[in-house]
Chain A
Amino acid sequence: MRNGRVGTSLSGAVNVISKRNFKAHWVAPTLRELQRRKVIEEDRNGGPKIFHRSTFLEWNYDAEIFAFSNRLGEKFNDSSLRAALTHKSYIERETARLSDIGVESNLQFHDNEALAKKGGEIMSKFINGYLRAVFTQVPEELIRAMHDFLTSNATLETVAKHIGLGDLMLCADFPCKTETYVKSFKAVVAALAESSGEERARIFVQDLVVTQLYGQDVNELWNPVDPVGNLTAILKREGKAEPEFRLIRQAGSNSILAVYYVGVYSDKNFISEGAGESLEVAKEMAAREALKKLFHTEDSMRALPFGRQLKNIQSRIAQLENQPNVPLSEWISQKVMSAVH
């Protein structure tokens, strides 16, 4: 089925760069009635009718594939790319259709199962390499959280949709499911690695997937459950004094809008301060700020490098793909100092 119904309002609404339209006044009632009937029909059927782009007369799959690879600026092997875009469901449907008609199906289709699996693995590898090279001071748990965010279905589906995979995929479901998009994207990454080499595939993943981290607060993706305990443990491991929490500022303690600033000191040295609506919250926030300072993930941290800025650290990224960062249970500053680039 190459058409379907969509419940949301993503119908093929066309934006018109409008000119003056002149229609006589007696045309209006007819148009109004037609619109009314259209709305009723669509409500009854659960949304406006949508058609796959390939059902249009102006469609040339070969030209679309050519444009796809040029749009991204990459060179693909034709067979790899076509295999990456073909799904098992499509092959099954086509062979069933042909056998129904009675035609022998000598179809030379390759599906993208193997490519998708390989693509998922190398994409994870590239993402981890980048994160460990950029976030050198950060424990492995945060790296994992960022990696899980970047490889989540939602993120990958957005990326896949916005590079034009929606019209190119050969699949039986329409509108295409999230898993289909994600599978196609991973398979495309694998096809690129096959065609142009691993370095190009790494840059591709950095340019398209890792840039989705921009604008995200990494501390919202992960922060430790017990910041006070973790801070105490880290300072103990480093041989420093236990963290001491002192109330620095307070205002409005009798009101709803109370604010308490609590500072963390280690051996009378100021580490960080945090604010909260109660003393306990402020203490936790102060411990969180201290951890952020240690991991270099404060709000004022350096901007993430992308594109040309990665030219000098590509070898470092490749090196760190297989070296996990220090986990939180063993984290001390001395261990991560040596890794600063």
Chain B
Amino acid sequence: MSNSHLFLPSGFIRTPLQNGLGRYIPQLQRITLKFCKSHGGSRGVRDFIESDLMEFAKTNPGTVVYLKPRRHRSPCMVAEYLNGEREYLSCHEFSRDEVYKWLSYMCTRSGIPVMRFRKYQHTDYPTIQGVWNPFTHQAPEINVAEFPHEVLSKPNDQGPTATEQLIEIFKKTQMEDPANKPPN
């Protein structure tokens, strides 16, 4: 399946400011929960605020939580990240668990926009031994060789031919006979 028809931008994995290399800094800077105190669509958000919000704030002390009760408006959450990006999510008619789920999703994001990852790994040092070039592993003798050369003109992975192997075997048998003769 090609990706050319997707409007989703694509890119490589990256992280702001080499996060995690030295220490991990949670990238969610602040989150604003806007909800209505009476309307039914905000019920999930209200339930979340009453029950789970304190625990969330305690486990994420690096994130500021703002609550904005606003009459006659549907609930939403706006997450602001350290690199300046903002994420808006409408929480209309969410359940309490859904609010918690989306809030923890916002915590795991850095502000880098959602994109299709081209590869799941990235390195700044793609080669250690050096990229191959045609001169790698070439015998230095080619510099002063006159071509055609006895050894270098042949393919370098060619072993002895069948004829040569037979000649070798014969020579070995010839050499063994004088050794087996009892010394005179």
Contacts and interface: CB of A to CB of B under 8 A. Distances in A.
B22 A208 contact: yes
A238 interface: no
Given A17-B87, A67-B62, A67-B63, A306 B82 contact: no
B88 A158 contact: no
A257 interface: no
Given A214-B21, A251-B134, A299-B125, 6 more contacts: A17-B88, A59-B66, A60-B64, A68-B62, A71-B62, A159-B17
A53 to B, nearest CB: 8
Interface in B132-153: 134-135, 138, 140, 143
Contacts of B11: none
A68 B114 CA distance: 25
Contact of A261 (B21, B64, B129, B135): B135
Given A10-B84, A299-B130, A70 B61 contact: yes
Interface residues of A, number: 47
Of listed A71, A212, A214, A299, residue having the most chain B CB within 10 A: A71
Contacts of A73: 23
Contacts of B87: 14-17
Interface in B66-95: 66, 68, 78, 82-90
Nearest to A249: B135
A250 to B, nearest CB: 9
B176 interface: no
A14 B17 contact: no
The residue in B21, B32, B85 that gathers the most chain A C-beta atoms within 10 A of its C-beta is B21
A167 B64 CA distance: 13
B37 interface: no
A206 interface: yes
Contacts of A16: 87-89
B40 interface: no
Given A16-B88, A17-B89, A207 B22 contact: yes
Contacts of A34: none
Interface of B: 16-18, 21-23, 25-26, 29-30, 32, 61-64, 66, 68, 78, 82-90, 113-114, 124-125, 127-130, 134-135, 138, 140, 143
Contact of B17 (A59, A68, A162, A167): A162
Contact of B66 (A58, A159, A247): A58
A72 interface: yes
A12 B86 contact: yes
A164 B82 contact: yes
Interface of A: 10, 12-17, 19, 57-60, 63-64, 66-68, 70-73, 158-159, 161-164, 166-167, 206-208, 210-212, 214-215, 247-249, 251, 261, 299-300, 303, 306-307
Contacts of A66: 61, 64
A57 B86 contact: no
Contacts of B85: 13, 15
Nearest to B110: A162
Contact of A208 (B17, B32, B113): B17
Nearest to A58: B66
Contacts of A59: 66
A16 B62 CA distance: 23
A58 to B, nearest CB: 4
Nearest to A57: B68
A64 B83 CA distance: 16
Contacts of A166: 84
Closest 7 CB pairs of A and B: A207-B22, A71-B62, A58-B66, A70-B61, A215-B124, A211-B18, A162-B17
B66 A60 contact: yes
A95 B171 CA distance: 107
Given A60-B66, A207-B22, A249 B143 contact: yes
Nearest to B143: A248
A55 B138 CA distance: 69
